[in-house]
Amino acid sequence: MDRVEIEISRLPGAEDIPLPRYMSDGASGMDLCAAVESPTVVEPGRIGLVPTGLTIAVPEGFEAQVRSRSGLALRCGVFVLNSPGTIDSDYRGEVRVILANLGSEPFRIERGDRIAQLVVARVSRVEWAEAEVLATTDRQAGGFGHTGGHSGGGGGSGGDGAGH
């Protein structure tokens, strides 16, 4: 298993906020905790920006991805809106989490609550090779359900890769 050392700092006033940590030996994501000053509520159908009180120095060649916690998504309808949110290697601001509440109840966030998870991943830099024609595949332009697989019925409608 690869290991990478990443510098992390707690912002002033966030000394009590736990650092991100893995909750099991096999976990790929570390829990991020809320650094709200007082209990905060994200109402149903609303979006909230939640501070973590942390800054990190992601090394070049890596990114940190902010992802939803599955339990919050399932039980409360609360998820990271831009999941995964990307923290680039040159960003040094506070890690903040955009939470959306699609549930039917207000979602209360207390200081120290686990609100999201953080996954660190390698990043590849792309160099485009423009071509007049791309190599063919069995799939070609089929997308958005073209293979079927939903137990509710027929195959997909094909699709043009743009959701149409």
Residue 136 located in a structural domain: no
Residue 157 located in a structural domain: no
Is cis: bond before 12, omega within 30 of 0?
A: no
Compute the distance between CA of residue 133 and CA of residue 136 in angstroms, rounded to an integer.
9
Residue whose C-alpha is closest to residue 48's, from 86, 26, 16, 81 = 81
151 vs 89, residue with greater confidence: 89
Q: What are phi and psi of 51, to 5 degrees?
A: -75, 150
Helix/strand/coil for 98: strand
What is the model's pLDDT at position 146?
Answer: 67
Residue 42, pLDDT > 90, answer: yes
Compute the distance between CA of residue 82 and CA of residue 75 in angstroms, rounded to an integer.
19
Residue whose C-alpha is closest to residue 8's, from 92, 67, 117 = 92
Residue 79 lies in domain:
10-122
Compute the distance between CA of residue 106 and CA of residue 163 in angstroms, rounded to an integer.
32
pLDDT in tens, 13-23: 999 999 999 99
Instruction: Give the chain's domain count.
Output: 1
pTM of the model: 0.82
Residue 88 located in a structural domain: yes
What is the model's pLDDT at position 155?
Answer: 45
What is the model's pLDDT at position 151?
Answer: 62
CATH classification of the domain holding 72:
2.70.40.10
pLDDT in tens, 62-112: 999 999 999 999 999 999 999 999 999 999 999 999 999 999 999 999 999
